Amino acid sequence: MFGRKKGNAFGVIIAVFVTIVVISLINNNQKNNSNVVKSELNIPAAVGYVNDFAGVISAGNVSNLESYLKELDKKTGAEIAVVTISSLKGASIEDVSLEIGRKWGVGKKGKDNGIVILVATGDKKMRIEVGYGLEGIIPDGKAGRIRDDYMIPYFKQGDMEKGIINGTMAVASVVAKSYQVEMPAAFNSISNLSSDYPMSVPQSGSGKSSPPDIFIFLIFIILFIVLPRRGLFMGGYTNYGEGFGGSSGSFGGFGGGCSGGGGSSGSW
């Protein structure tokens, strides 16, 4: 019994030590990067709620989806930006989606109720980036379920359009139901989305974790979630502007919010 307690204490000490060392190394690396000439990200202005820079959605469906998301914004105040690009140009999809949300101001100012659905077709990666104001409605687990049930299966079949539309409609459905608003039927000919999309995701059991397990989890959070976002674009990322197509149109812009609360990424 005492041996087990000593083992747990030793595990905690090691976990804390490793965390401190890694954080120090990362901070030093960021200081060194501050002297490097930074590449300016060439993210174009938004052309609407739907920004199909990769050209994988038909003009008719772009128009329909644009109208639907505009109506959702009008009724709930929540803003969803759908973005397709051909390539990330070496950047991570998490960084790109977060920067898009920040630069475009997706969501209302002070509410941060915006969502960025980003699909990089050439890299076969996607992400649902959820603003802080909508994390309670679409937590990471629910975003992951939408990804796995409504998007990735179609992407694997090569049907980018259907995956994007189904995923967007699933996200919009959850938002609309949370705000208790009625939305018109849309995309019945292309989407198999159920009108009663589940509002909850099965939760795992609430078993107790030993101290080392908890600290290992905290290390994971710090290394792979908190620090990458704190150091967003500190170094010289490659300019991936060529991954975006041309932009045009007279979209009035989003509400000035700032995305980046949580979400879910995936690949196929």
Do the domain assignments include residue 138?
yes
What does the pLDDT read at residue 222?
Answer: 58
The pLDDT tens digits of the residues spanning 9-46 come to: 666 677 677 777 666 665 555 444 333 223 445 788 99
Do the domain assignments include residue 234?
no
Q: What percent of the chain has pLDDT over 70?
A: 59
Whether the model clears a pTM of 0.85, i.e. scores above it, the answer is: no
Could you give the CA distance from residue 113 to residue 178 in angstroms, rounded to a whole number? 13
Do the domain assignments include residue 95?
yes
The pLDDT tens digits of the residues spanning 145-193 come to: 999 999 999 999 999 999 999 999 999 999 999 999 998 876 554 444 4
> What letter does residue 48 receive in the DSSP assignment?
S
Could you give the CA distance from residue 138 to residue 141 in angstroms, rounded to a whole number? 8
Could you give the CA distance from residue 137 to residue 153 in angstroms, rounded to a whole number? 24
What does the pLDDT read at residue 96?
Answer: 94
> Under a CB-based contact definition with an 8 Å cutoff, are residues 79 and 68 in contact?
no
Do the domain assignments include residue 207?
no
Domain that includes residue 64, residue range: 50-192
Do the domain assignments include residue 127?
yes
Q: Count of domains in the chain? A: 1
Name the residue with tokens 């998490």. 94
pLDDT at 98 over 70: yes
Do the domain assignments include residue 241?
no
Do the domain assignments include residue 176?
yes
The pLDDT tens digits of the residues spanning 181-237 come to: 998 876 554 444 444 444 333 333 333 444 455 555 566 555 555 544 443 333 333
Provide the H-helix boundaries in 179-238.
211-221, 227-230
The pLDDT tens digits of the residues spanning 124-152 come to: 999 999 999 999 999 999 999 999 999 99
What does the pLDDT read at residue 214?
Answer: 56
> Under a CB-based contact definition with an 8 Å cutoff, are residues 164 and 153 in contact?
no
DSSP string, 162-227: HHHHHHHHHHHHHHHHHTT-------TTT----TT--S--PPPP-----HHHHHHHHHHHIIIIIH
Do the domain assignments include residue 148?
yes
Q: Domain of 157: which CATH number? A: 3.10.310.50
